[in-house]
Amino acid sequence: MGRRSRGRRLQQQQRPEDAEDGAEGGGKRGEAGWEGGYPEIVKENKLFEHYYQELKIVPEGEWGQFMDALREPLPATLRITGYKRYPEELAWHTNLSRKILRKSPHLEKFHQFLVSETESGNISRQEAVSMIPPLLLNVRPHHKILDMCAAPGSKTTQLIEMLHADMNVPFPEGFVIANDVDNKRCYLLVHQAKRLSSPCIMVVNHDASSIPRLQIDVDGRKEILFYDRILCDVPCSGDGTMRKNIDVWKKWTTLNSLQLHGLQLRIATRGAEQLAEGGRMVYSTCSLNPIEDEAVIASLLEKSEGALELADVSNELPGLKWMPGITQWKVMTKDGQWFTDWDAVPHSRHTQIRPTMFPPKDPEKLQAMHLERCLRILPHHQNTGGFFVAVLVKKSSMPWNKRQPKLQGKSAETRESTQLSPADLTEGKPTDPSKLESPSFTGTGDTEIAHATEDLENNGSKKDGVCGPPPSKKMKLFGFKEDPFVFIPEDDPLFPPIEMNLLTRTTEGKKRQLYMVSKELRNVLLNNSEKMKVINTGIKVWCRNNSGEEFDCAFRLAQEGIYTLYPFINSRIITVSMEDVKILLTQENPFFRKLSSETYSQAKDLAKGSIVLKYEPDSANPDALQCPIVLCGWRGKASIRTFVPKNERLHYLRMMGLEVLGEKKKEGVILTNESAASTGQPDNDVTEGQRAGEPNSPDAEEANSPDVTAGCDPAGVHPPR
């Protein structure tokens, strides 16, 4: 206590010197104001400037503009969740920085709006250049997509949106498998993906450079899964992000790129192997360095021997300004020594510099690669970050896949697909101890094929419908141990008439929550549980309702999956008016008498249990809300309750013209937080079992979560377990 008091007194004694400056916006602290009082990082790096001036990646006469742009804060950008392209005014940017948006008292309401709508999945706050790679993938709803290095997940959400381009189709034929090597970042990825409530997303945890080949069942026979689209947004040095990651200014060195090059090439090679013929792979980095960009692409094209080619995408995003890829570059060590070709590199440098870092010597081969088709986005051209994108199309199998392995009982196509690759044999481990290594899983070469044949022989011995975590003896597993994925059998006594791909995360005890996946992802899960470490998949559609078991209603509907499930629901649907929706969303447990007579007449004859509340827009009344709303609810003895997450409630209320201010009451609106759950039980038969939230630990399948907002379906950050 004494030290704190002395510290406060000392601060008060020091303040008068610059108090006037602070009031007028001057002084070091005053200049920062509400933006923060941290010392300014000097945005200078002579080695960085020397390196890129020598490589001439910036057009002549624009170097000053380039450096000035890098020193300016990055504008905040966002996109509206939608299934059109972002040039159609679904992506927006403001010249305000993220710090100003967070700290300015004048923008407090706007910032709250952004946070709330982001949590609801209606907008995504994403850097403008980061939106480019998914757009260039040209995704269609039937495509099978692999996102190799997906966390934190902004690009993954774009891919999910594109799969659901037709809003009338709840289960597209395609799916997204989103992978990341970092177990903790996988949970951030889950949180991002869950905002969009899609049954077509699976999050897995593998080293992208050795991600296993998967199998699927096609008409009773096992075939290798090849992806129609692959996003290869590899780890990079990130010097294109200097505008938002200020630390890059003082930490930048060419050594980062030299260490990452090998890993980037291995990831890109692995992606090319798993790409279907005719498929498209986008390779991207947030680095401007040709060692991480053109050098990786040139090496990949060279080893593909014509199986891959760079696509010309110059007309696919007409509003985008970009520079063509370069065809000549040099390699510089961290101490400033330059090398123009591999032959000039002394033997002592061979562990740091590799031959794949240099452009091809053969002019004809170099010209045939069309490296100018790569896109490099410079910050000063459109007030963005720096970025690099290359779009590759697969014309034929990779050369090492064309040799036939000696396997019995497989078709030629399957044998061709499972042949070992150079990435498995020679690129599996870096030859240089200084190369960046990430935790990797072993067993992708001969053992992978052996396991594939074992799966064919022993598939029937595995317990039906149970997809557990991979055995620890076959893989090195990192992070938390995941609960199994158990599909509900078709003859389950609880759901006899339902033919859906339902799963739960427990093999024992009562099923607490039920999730739904598309049939294509079910196929992947059931045929690859020994190979994959699956972190999360499926969309929650039912939650256990303990008090409802006495009248055959053991589960209630979950708002998270209501739009997916709604097309299959044929009864217990109540049509409500806009005024009814306002009451249901702003009052915890409204009695029937508070609702319209039309709503009451529909609800009065229904038995207690789950219901669906549907609002249909009235085209004759243009002032009314013009989009449909579907809410899951509970019909009690004398009242109706909705189970909607708080941020989704705020979204609907905003759409209906009600302004909501934090946790305050306005226009009859009552917003509760998690602490409100302790205020007591409602006055009808909705129990704690119907408020069950997302579990935060593997043991939560058997325990209820008490601290959940009354009347809300919780939107937990943690994945379902």
Catalytic residues: 286
CB 555 within 8 A of CB 537: no
CB 126 within 8 A of CB 78: yes
- Indicate the length of the chain as a whole number: 721
CB 524 within 8 A of CB 179: no
Query: Nearest to residue 254, comparing CAs of 433, 42, 51?
Result: 51
Strands (E), 545-698: 555-557, 573-576, 609-615, 629-635, 640-642
How far, in Å, CA of 16 to CA of 118, rounded? 42
Residues ≥6 apart with Cβ < 8 Å to 182: 151
Q: Which residue has the tokens 């005014």?
A: 89
17 CB neighbour count, 10 Å cutoff = 9
CB 655 within 8 A of CB 624: no
Residue type, 528: N
Please state the φ and ψ torsions of residue 486, each to the nearest 5 degrees: -115, 115
CA 530 to chain centre: 24
DSSP 569: -
Give the N- to C-terminal CA distance of the chain in Å, as an integer. 44
How far, in Å, CA of 662 to CA of 433, rounded? 53
Residue 381 tokens, joined: 């051209």
How far, in Å, CA of 423 to CA of 210, rounded? 8
Task: List alpha helices for 442-561, DSSP H.
Answer: 446-458, 519-527
List beta partners, residue 540: 515
CA 347 to chain centre: 43
Please state the φ and ψ torsions of residue 528, each to the nearest 5 degrees: -140, 20
Checking 449-455 for CB contacts under 8 A at 24+ apart, the result is 449/405, 449/407, 449/418, 449/420, 451/530, 451/531, 452/213, 452/215, 452/222, 452/418, 453/407, 453/408, 453/409, 455/215, 455/222, 455/527, 455/530
- One DSSP character per residue, 50-95 reads HHHHHHT-SPTT-HHHHHHHHHSPPEEEEEE--SS-GGGTTEEEEE
CA 650 to chain centre: 24
How far, in Å, CA of 490 to CA of 511, rounded? 16
How far, in Å, CA of 508 to CA of 702, rounded? 9
Residue type, 62: E
Residue 533 tokens, joined: 């470490």
Helices (H) and strands (E) in the chain, counts: 23, 27
How far, in Å, CA of 527 to CA of 117, rounded? 37
Residue 636 tokens, joined: 């009690």
